[in-house]
Structure formats: C-alpha cells, structure tokens
Amino acid sequence: MNPVLRLRSMASLIGPALLLLSPLAAMAAPLRVGLSGSPPFVMSPNEQPGGISVQVWEQVAAERGYDYRFVVQPNATANLNALAAGQLDVAIGPITITPKRVSQTGFDFTQPYFYAEEGLLVPKVPPGLMTRLRPFFGVAALSSIALLLLSIFVVGNLIWLAERRSNHSQFPRNYLHGLGNAMWFALVTLTTVGYGDRAPQSRTGRAITAIWMVLSLVAVSSITAGLASAFTLALSRQTLAPIVDAAQLQGAQMAVVRGTTSVSWGEVYGARLKQAGSLQAAIKLLQDGTVEGVIFDRPALRYWLMQNPESGLQLAPFDLAKQTYGLAVRSASPLRKPINVTLLQMHRSGAITRIVDSVLSDDPQRSALPMD
C-alpha cells in the first residue's frame, strides 16, 4: 500500500479514539472547583474551607474518586461566569437554581442538595404600652368576658324566677331590684366567696345553684388560664418586626448582596436596593440605619443571628421565596450524571441531613464571602 494512504488510514482510526479519550484525559487532571458563599454553607474559603456546601462536595468527590483544587470566587454570579468560560470544571456553594440561570448556556445544574427560603432581616422594635395591653383586648379575652357576663345574667334571671314568690325578701318581685340581687348571688357563687347574704330557699332555686356551682369550677379555670396567658404576653419582653408583610417592601430601602439572587428578589418586590459586597457589609448598613432591612437567604441569616444573639436584629415573620441549591458543571460535562447519582444516594441515606446538622451544631467564628 502507498505509504501516504497508510498514514491517512491510521489517522482516520486514531482521530476518533483520541476524541473518545479526551474527556477521560481532562478528568485525569485535578478538577478546578469554584467556591463562593458564606456561613453556614462556605466557611474560611481562603484557609481550610468548610461548611455545608463544601462538605457535600467533599463527600461526592470521595465517593467518585475525584482529585480537585478550590478556586475562590467573589460571588455566585462570578462563579457561574467562570464556569461557563471554561475556567472551572465545577461550581459549588449555596448557588440558587433559577429559571434565568438554567436558561443560560455554558453550564448545567445538578440535582438540588438543599432547599431554603429567601428571608428578610429587620431590627427588633420594643413593644409600647398599647402593644403590651393588646392581649387583654383580643378577641379571645373579650369573648370570654362577654360569655361570663351573659352566664351571670342568665343564672340571675333563673334564680330570680325561682325565688321571687317564696323568698321575695332576698330576691324582690321588682325585676331590676330582684335581678340585681340574683346576679350578685351568681357572682359571689362563681368566685367562691359566698358572703351568705343571699341564699335560695326553693328546691328549684337550689337545683339551679348546684348546677351553677359545678359550671363555675370550669368557668373559673378557663378564665384563670386566659388571664395568665394575657399577663404572660403583656409582661414578656416580646419584640415586633417593623415589616410584617412582603407588600411593605414596595419602595423601602433594602440592602442586598451583589451578585446574588437577593438582588433579583428585591427588584421583584419593588424595593429600593443598596448593594453590598458581602453579607456582613449589608448587615452593617442595617445596623447603621442606612437601610430598613437585609434581603438574603434565610439559612444564612439564621446562622448569623445564632452567632450574634445580642445584635438587636431579627428575621421578619414571612418568607420572600422558596429556593433550591445545586452544584453546577460545564454543559455536557461527563461529571453531571455521576454527581447526580451520588447526590441522590446521599439524600436517601440521610448523609446530607447529617452534614447540615453537624455544621449547624458547631459554633465557628469564621470569615465569609457573599453567598447566594
């Protein structure tokens, strides 16, 4: 055979083989893993990384035998952009899976490994006098008092009807006078004071009194429990949130973290946004009074409050959105399927739950990058 034709034939066989081997050759080098986020998902990224996202990835890598090195990124958006540009093989951290990100080219998400909510951090507002007295004027308290007065009125009428003929000296025939004495008798019987200045003499009156005594035990117990709850609420050091509904975000000045989905959610709710470079910087704006609240991932805000119990801040009593976190790989990456399989196995075995519990039970004081 002609030597030239022989070389061309060999090239035609070797070329496809090299294409098949190229993904394996690429995976032989350490994976470049982009790292972005803040506690409790990413901790000490510039030292020895830890946190929920890091531990989830470390277990996936251990199961699959991946060699890797971390490449710290400033935020989730930068992490995904570097992945799409081919500078990374995997992007990890609390990266929210959103329709906009899924529609972008250059990277794909894995199965979610964590479900979270978008929260709002606001100052604590000490309750005023009217707030402390409000439990005494609630529907439950007022309805209990109304029912009690109605019961005394009904029992007073029954006693007067039973006693007005045979015992008119204590329960006069005059309706208003007699009813007043009968209601007084019902009240002192209810309170178990029993002055003895009024007492039924007829059988019917005594039967009504006996029934009222038994019912009074139940009534007094219920009233006592209600008043105790009201006093507890009124005297407790309860605090109020200045924002109690998502509609109040319209036009409000809110701090968000640049490069995270907190920016998108702030825009959705019509807030006036002040972007910060990190969660700590955003919270500092709130503490300085520059903004009215901080929009961010609720798990991270809860973790920060756990580390700073005397901050004077609290979570608003509502969520802005539900979110899912996932890992990201380059489009058509051979890593995606095995990572998905491992994540599903970790969900089924409870490994991810154990990771979350172990991280949240610790009390680390570590530096942080912005998270999404």
We report the CATH number of the domain holding residue 260 as 3.40.190.10
Query: Around Cβ 347, how many Cβ atoms within 10 Å?
Result: 14
The amino acid occupying position 104 is: Q
Asked if residue 52 lies in contact with residue 41, where contact means CB atoms within 8 angstroms, the answer is yes
Residues 6+ apart with CB under 8 A from 96: 76, 260, 261, 297, 323, 324, 325, 372
Say whether both 225 and 147 belong to one domain: yes
Q: What pLDDT is attached to residue 10?
A: 44
Residue 367 falls inside a structural domain: no
Q: What pLDDT is attached to residue 238?
A: 55
Q: Distance (Å, rounded) from C-alpha 56 to C-alpha 112?
A: 11
Angle at 22 between CA 18 and CA 25, to 5 degrees: 120
Asked if residue 113 lies in contact with residue 343, where contact means CB atoms within 8 angstroms, the answer is yes
Say whether both 8 and 110 belong to one domain: yes
Residue where a domain stops, chosen among 188, 210, 235: 235
Q: What pLDDT is attached to residue 241?
A: 67
Q: What pLDDT is attached to residue 126?
A: 66
Asked if residue 181 lies in contact with residue 170, where contact means CB atoms within 8 angstroms, the answer is yes
The amino acid occupying position 366 is: R
Provide the domain limits for residue 260.
Answer: 246-315
Residue 241 falls inside a structural domain: no
Residue 191 falls inside a structural domain: yes
Residues 6+ apart with CB under 8 A from 281: 257
Q: What pLDDT is attached to residue 133?
A: 60
Say whether both 15 and 111 belong to one domain: yes
In tens, the pLDDT along 295-346 reads 998 888 988 998 898 888 999 888 888 889 999 999 999 999 999 999 999 9
Asked if residue 254 lies in contact with residue 273, where contact means CB atoms within 8 angstroms, the answer is yes
Going by C-alpha positions, the residue among 109, 107, 105, 74 that lies closest to residue 95 is 109
Say whether both 265 and 331 belong to one domain: no
Q: What pLDDT is attached to residue 235?
A: 57
Q: What pLDDT is attached to residue 4?
A: 39
Q: Reduced to 3 states, what is the DSSP secondary structure of residue 318?
A: coil
Say whether both 106 and 208 belong to one domain: no
Is the pTM higher than 0.85? The answer reads no
Say whether both 73 and 41 belong to one domain: yes
Residue 59 falls inside a structural domain: yes
In tens, the pLDDT along 205-229 reads 889 988 988 888 777 777 677 666 6
Residues 6+ apart with CB under 8 A from 176: none
Residues 6+ apart with CB under 8 A from 224: none
In tens, the pLDDT along 44-60 reads 877 788 899 999 999 99
Residue 369 falls inside a structural domain: no
Residue 275 falls inside a structural domain: yes
Say whether both 187 and 283 belong to one domain: no
Residue where a domain stops, chosen among 190, 209, 235: 235
Say whether both 69 and 31 belong to one domain: yes
DSSP 204-249: HHHHHHHHHHHHHHHHHHHHHHHHHHHHHHHHS---B-S--SGGGG
Residue 122 falls inside a structural domain: no
Say whether both 253 and 213 belong to one domain: no
Say whether both 328 and 352 belong to one domain: yes
Residue 43 falls inside a structural domain: yes
Q: Reduced to 3 states, what is the DSSP secondary structure of residue 194?
A: coil
CATH number for 138:
1.10.287.70
Q: Distance (Å, rounded) from C-alpha 324 to C-alpha 116?
A: 6
Low-confidence ranges of the chain (pLDDT < 50): 1, 3-26, 363-372
Say whether both 62 and 108 belong to one domain: yes
Say whether both 179 and 280 belong to one domain: no
Residue where a domain stops, chosen among 235, 262, 297: 235
Q: Number of folded domains in the chain?
A: 3
Q: Distance (Å, rounded) from C-alpha 25 to C-alpha 27?
A: 5
